């Protein structure tokens, strides 16, 4: 009697375990199915929201977004304008320095060709005139001239290249520059000659 009872209990336990296992598997599969359904619903909701937002942005006019976009465009335009102005200032400064350097070289070349016209104790020069300050500036420049610092070549990329070559040819062949040629120099050279006291030797 006791053996039969123990066998019946074991069979009952086995049946209960199998039932619990099957019910647990069913609940687990239901949970997994519900979880997958929730995930798919969330993804569908997100896709729908994204599509609605895209459609609204493309089809519906929003003044606030338009004002924000216009402000961003204006700010970007100001930054671009400042950058362009800065680049323009740099280019103008570079061109100005280049022009001043070329003008200085031309003036030094002219003074080098006019060195025989400087006034001395025995011979007064043609530029030693107290009544004409611009000519007096040429005289001062001739006195300050130092040949060891003079350029040996002349820049040929300026507008007076032909006149520079003519002066160079005359100085090479005749070793002297006539006063008439010196008085008919270009206006840019005359302006530079007037500012000769500020040129460092």
Residue 156 located in a structural domain: yes
Per-residue pLDDT band at 125 (split at 50, 70, 90): low
Residue 34 located in a structural domain: no
Nearest to 165 by CA among 174, 153, 176, 175: 153
Segment 14-19 shows an average pLDDT of 76
Rounded to whole angstroms, the Cα distance separating 134 from 107 reads 14
Cα torsion angle, 165, 169, 171, 176, sign: negative
- Domain, as residue range, for 172: 101-198
CA distances from 8 to 4, 18, 96 (A): 6, 15, 112
Residue 128 located in a structural domain: yes
Domain total for the chain? 1
Residue 6 located in a structural domain: no
Is-contact 126 179, C-beta < 8 A? Answer: yes
Segment 46-69 shows an average pLDDT of 88
Rounded to whole angstroms, the Cα distance separating 196 from 103 reads 11
Q: What residue ranges in 95-167 does DSSP mark as E strands?
A: none
- Per-residue tokens: 191: 């302006």
- Per-residue tokens: 133: 């300050």
Question: Does the pLDDT of residue 31 top 70, yes or no?
Answer: yes
The residue with greater pLDDT, 57 or 38, is: 38
Q: φ and ψ at 199, to 5 degrees? A: -80, 130
Neighbours of 104 (CB within 10 A): 15
Per-residue pLDDT band at 45 (split at 50, 70, 90): very high
Residue 45 located in a structural domain: no
Which pLDDT does position 175 carry in this prediction?
45
Lowest mean pLDDT among 16-20, 101-105, 132-136, 166-170: 166-170
Per-residue pLDDT band at 33 (split at 50, 70, 90): confident
CA distances from 189 to 23, 67, 100, 110, 172 (A): 108, 56, 11, 9, 20
Q: Which residue has the tokens 């007064």?
A: 124
Residue 126 located in a structural domain: yes
Residue 125 located in a structural domain: yes
The residue with greater pLDDT, 178 or 35, is: 35
Which pLDDT does position 197 carry in this prediction?
47
Segment 117-123 shows an average pLDDT of 60
Neighbours of 63 (CB within 10 A): 7
Residue 191 located in a structural domain: yes
- Per-residue tokens: 70: 């216009």
């Amino acid at each position: 009697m006791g053996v039969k009872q123990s066998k019946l209990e074991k069979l009952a336990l086995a049946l209960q375990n199998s039932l619990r296992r099957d019910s647990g598997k069913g609940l687990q599969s239901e949970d997994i199915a519900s979880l997958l359904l929730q995930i798919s619903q969330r993804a569908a909701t997100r896709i729908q929201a994204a599509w609605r937002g895209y459609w609204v942005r493309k089809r519906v006019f929003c003044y606030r977004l338009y004002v924000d976009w216009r402000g961003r465009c204006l700010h970007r335009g100001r930054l671009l304008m400042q950058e362009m102005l800065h680049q323009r200032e740099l280019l103008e400064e570079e061109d100005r320095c280049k022009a001043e350097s070329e003008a200085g070289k031309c003036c030094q070349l002219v003074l080098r060709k006019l060195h025989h016209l400087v006034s001395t104790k025995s011979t007064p020069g043609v530029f030693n005139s107290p009544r004409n300050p611009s000519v007096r500036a040429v005289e001062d420049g001739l006195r300050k001239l130092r040949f060891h610092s003079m350029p040996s070549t002349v820049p040929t990329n300026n507008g007076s290249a032909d006149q520079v070559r003519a002066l160079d040819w005359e100085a090479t062949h005749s070793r002297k520059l006539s006063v008439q040629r010196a008085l008919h120099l270009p206006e840019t050279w005359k302006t530079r000659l007037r500012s000769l006291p500020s040129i460092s030797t």
